[in-house]
Amino acid sequence: MSDLLYKDEVFKLVGHCIEIHDEIGKGQDEVLYKDAFTVELQHAQIPFARERKYEVTYKRVILPHHYFADFVVWDKILFEAKAVERLIEVHVKQVLNYLAASKLELGLLVNFGADSLEWKRVVLTQKTKPAELPKGFRI
């Protein structure tokens, strides 16, 4: 069995998320969790980009609207924050679309809105890419 992709990095990020959830609690606006995550990353001196924009192409035409990933950390992990009662499949599909657009392999989907912090690793491989993208989308 192979090791998990970016195992140590994800462990660190989840630790920062637990800190945020413990400090702020559930039920806040999503943007407050993102702001707190920014503070955590800055304090830990972890390189990141917030609200990174990705183009979407349809039939070789770049669409006027783009994907905006919440964060890209270490230029290799896409981080998507939610503040909902629970994560559902559409959240995972959103991360898969962002991964395809970004050409990254690993997404970390984190929900601060539940009683306990909820998180999922989302991995995009060449096997999963065609089946998971909406019909007609090319990234």
pTM of the predicted protein model:
0.86
Strands 137-138 and 57-58: antiparallel
For residue 56, give the nearest of 15, 122, 100 by alpha carbon.
100
Q: What share of the chain is helix, strand, coil (3-state, %, to 5)?
A: 35, 25, 35
119, 111 Cβ separation under 8 angstroms: yes
Task: Find the angle CA(37)-CA(43)-CA(49) to the nearest 5 degrees.
Answer: 50
Alpha-carbon span 87 to 2, nearest angstrom: 27
Look at residue 8 and tell me whether its pLDDT is greater than 50: yes
Give the pLDDT confidence of 31-73 residue by residue, as tens digits: 999 999 999 999 999 999 999 999 988 999 999 999 999 999 9
For residue 54, give the nearest of 73, 68, 71 by alpha carbon.
68
